[in-house]
Amino acid sequence: MEVTIDKNSGYCFGVEFAIKMAEDEMEVSEKLYCLGDIVHNDMEVQRLSKKGLVVIDREQLQGLTDCKVLIRAHGEPPETYRTAIENNIELIDASCPVVLKLQHRVKTAFDKMEREQGQIVIYGKKGHAEVIGLTGQTLEKAIVVMEDKDLDKVDYSRPVTLFSQTTKSTKGFYELKAKIEERIKAEKGELSEVDFNANDSICRQVSNREPQLQRFSLENDVILFVSGKKSSNGRALYQVCLTENSRSYFVENETEIDPSWFNSEDKVGICGATSTPMWLMEQVLDYVQSLERDKVLEN
C-alpha cells in the first residue's frame, strides 16, 4: 500500500503566523491568554495548552486586567480593542492580513451603504469568529447568509453589497451571488451596479486548494481528510474530496480510522484543512502504514 500526504495541505499563512506568535510569546511571558481556540483543531489546541496557552471567551475577557491576550488569525470586532484599552490588556495581534484587509473593505462598504440606505450581506457561518469580526465593522447590521432560507432576510428593494467569509467555498459564493441577482431582478425587473455589488473576498490560498484537492482525490484510491470538526474550511474542503472520490473519509485523528476502509493494493492520500497541523497528518500516515506492517489489511 502506498501512502502519501498532500504537499499543499496544512496550515495557511494566517494560522501558521498566529501559532508562531503564540509560541514565541509563551517563551517570554508567564501567562498568555487566547481569545477563542487559536485554531479549529482540538489536538493542536491541546498541544498549545500544555505549553501554557489559556483559552478564554469574550465574557471572560471582560473580567481580565493587566495581562496579555492573543488575537487569533480570525480577527476581532472593534469592541475587543475597546475592552483591551479599558482593562489595560496588551493585545498580541495575530489577525491574518487577509482578514484585516477584508474588515477594512466591509467597514468602507458599510459606511457607503448607510448613506444609500443599502445593506451589507456576508456569506458565512453565523457565530464564526471571523464573521463576528466582520459584522462588528457594521454595528452588527450586516445580514449573515448561509442557506437559501437566510436570503429571505434581505430587502431586495434596497441596494445590496455582498462579501464572503475568507474560508468559504468559491462555488457556494457564486451560487449565492446568482440567487441574489435573481431576487433583485424579480423585485425590480432589472439589475444594475447600483442595485448589487458582489465582492469575492475568499482567500486565494484557501480557494486554490479546491482544484488541488480535486486532482489529489482522483490520484488516490482512498482519501483520509484530517480536520477538526469545528473547522468550516475543513467541512467545505472535505466535500471537494468526496465529490471526486466516494472513498473519502473525514477523521479528526488516527483513532477514528477503520482498517476496513483499505485494501493492501490501495493508494491512500492524506490531506487536510488550513487548520490541520502537518504533525497530525504525519501521525495519521504512521498509523495507516502500521496497519500494513501488522497485516491488518486484506489482499
Active site residues: 130
Give, for 34, the enclosing helix (H) or strand (E). Answer: strand 32-35
C-alpha cell at 40: 479549529
Closest-CA residue to 8 (of 287, 273, 285): 273
The rounded distance, in Å, linking the Cα atoms of 93 and 276 is 21
Spatial CB neighbours of 188, under 8 Å, sequence gap ≥ 6:
156, 157, 195
Q: Mind giving me the DSSP string for 39-82?
A: SS-HHHHHHHHHHTEEEE-HHHHHT--SSEEEE-TT---HHHHH
Buried b (16+ CB within 10 A) or exposed e, 9-24: bbbbebbbbbbebbee
